[in-house]
Chain A
Amino acid sequence: MRDLGRVVGRINWLGLATITLGFALWELLLRAGFAQYQNLPAPSAIANGLVEITSSGQLLADTRHTLLSVLVGWTAALVLGVVSGLLLGASSTLRRYSLASIEVLRPMPGIAFAPVALLLFGFSLQMELMVIILPALWPVLINTMGAVLGVHARLFEVGRTFRLSQGEILRKIMLPAALPGVLVGARLSMTLALVLAIVAEMVGNPAGLGYAVVREQQAMRPELVFAYVVVIGALGVILNAALTGAVAVLFPAASGRLREAG
């Protein structure tokens, strides 16, 4: 009984109340005809819209496409980013001869690649991947490189004092020590990949959730537009949670340290 009380105490009642009140007000104003925003749908309409796109299977098709795009792009960015990050972290020569190029390329907004991608690949998944991969690889690269450079010198001395071979030092010391940084980069990259996929679908490839939003907007179905917005937001949260969960399962030690660090 006391446990229930504690759970109840932790729920943000004020926040819940505010948002419920907000929704109710929104619904009422529209129904009563006070607010006449032409294209603003009532919350009930949005809910109906969600049901509609789910039952018609449209939602599933769109989500599947975007998910595929995000996962493939993110994985590619992850692999490229980790490999290059490790190499750059390990070799100061490499750094000297490439950091400036990275600094120049990094601020390039992913969306600027969309027209080029359209030119080269037309309406296709590859077009989306081109928009996703390069910008999504920067967080991985930078964080991996930073993690490698941040491995405390003392750890390497411990390796030497116990007479470990170079390979053992790499495998047993450097990689595990750099792992938390790599995971942070992976998480940032995932969020970025989702945004980039959506952008690519809005501006280029007519498929997936990004295109769905534009499609419904042009079809003047505001309740569906909002419904898709909700789905996209939820997808972001789910992907993030899935990644955090996967990390906790695969790397229990690292996620412990990540949690400790707050």
Chain B
Amino acid sequence: MDRQPSNRGIAGQLRSVLASLPPARGLLPLIVLLLVWQMLQPGPSPYFPGPLQWWTATVTMFGREHLIAAFGATTWTFLEGLLLAIVAGTSLGLLVGISDRAARALQPLLEFMRAIPPPVTVPVASLLIGYSESMKLTVVVLSALWPILLNATSAVRQIDPLLLDVARSFRLTAWQRMRRIILPAIVPSLLLGIRIAIPLAIVVTLLVEMLTSLPGIGALMIRSQRNFQSSEVYALLVLVGLFGFVVNDLFAVIEGVIMRRWPPRS
């Protein structure tokens, strides 16, 4: 079994993520679709404007200053919410994972919260907190929280009891045990939970913006749709898609850098 080099810096990680992407000729169907679309519908249209129209719409929106600000607002909410969810999810997950009592006490509540689809929390939060940035943040945090919390909990439970015996035989304090054994042990699971939480956070961020018109890409999309600016709507769709794609790959790079000390997954 060959060992991977453990000194993988960010550049190396980026390279390996790019290398693991499927062959570029797989983009052919998309390119063909766009070309055919452009040929069939070169000019503006209320329903199916061609791709070039999307580009001009992007330039227009860019020029109106709205685009960058909106992107900034969405990205900021998303990141802030995600980070808070990571901190909260990890700490709560650890608590529930370590303490059997806490686990059993909170289990029905957790199961219930897990069954509720994140988007549903948006109107509830609007009701309780009102239309504000803090409501927006709250909803994103709540939505991204569950996968991280649940993964942290199960990871703690699945720590090899042998490792805990090792901690005891070396007489580690509770804090040392947490820092040296428990936290590192749950990192892979946490990363998985974060990977699941990311699309949830994106969706909820956009949803809030669409429902409340708080500044962001979602608000722009709804506004363009209400003004029947079809090219703008399509353009924003593409931009959101690109955003999602970039975020996912960036996370893959970060994940790779963090995980380079772990044995490669089979």
Interface positions of A (Cβ within 8 A of B): 12, 14-19, 22, 37, 39-40, 95-105, 107-116, 118-120, 194-195, 198-199, 202-203, 210, 213-214, 216-217, 222, 225-226, 229, 232-234, 236-237
Query: Contact between B101 and A14 (Cβ–Cβ < 8 Å)?
Result: yes
Given the interface contacts A105-B241, A108-B240, A115-B222, does A22 sit within 8 Å of B109 by beta carbon? yes
Chain B residue with Cβ nearest A192: B117
Smallest distance from the beta carbon of A237 to chain B beta carbons, Å?
Answer: 5
Query: Contact between A112 and B25 (Cβ–Cβ < 8 Å)?
Result: no
Interface check B1, CB cutoff 8 A: no
Smallest distance from the beta carbon of A241 to chain B beta carbons, Å?
Answer: 11
Query: Contact between A109 and B199 (Cβ–Cβ < 8 Å)?
Result: yes
Query: Contact between A96 and B23 (Cβ–Cβ < 8 Å)?
Result: yes
Chain B residue with Cβ nearest A197: B117
Query: Contact between A115 and B221 (Cβ–Cβ < 8 Å)?
Result: yes
Classify the interface of chain B: helix, strand, loop or mixed: helix
Smallest distance from the beta carbon of B152 to chain A beta carbons, Å?
Answer: 19
Given the interface contacts A107-B248, A202-B211, does A214 sit within 8 Å of B123 by beta carbon? yes
Given the interface contacts A15-B107, A18-B108, A96-B25, does A109 sit within 8 Å of B211 by beta carbon? no
Apart from A195-B118, A202-B122, what are 16 other A-B pairs with CB-CB below 8 Å? A18-B106, A22-B109, A100-B22, A101-B30, A103-B21, A103-B26, A103-B245, A104-B241, A108-B244, A114-B221, A115-B224, A116-B225, A118-B225, A210-B119, A226-B124, A229-B116
Chain A residue with Cβ nearest B210: A203
Query: Which of A12, A105, A194, A222 contacts B127 (CB under 8 A)?
Result: A222
Smallest distance from the beta carbon of A170 to chain B beta carbons, Å?
Answer: 25
Query: Contact between B47 and A19 (Cβ–Cβ < 8 Å)?
Result: no
Query: Which of B107, B109, B230 contacts A119 (CB under 8 A)?
Result: B230
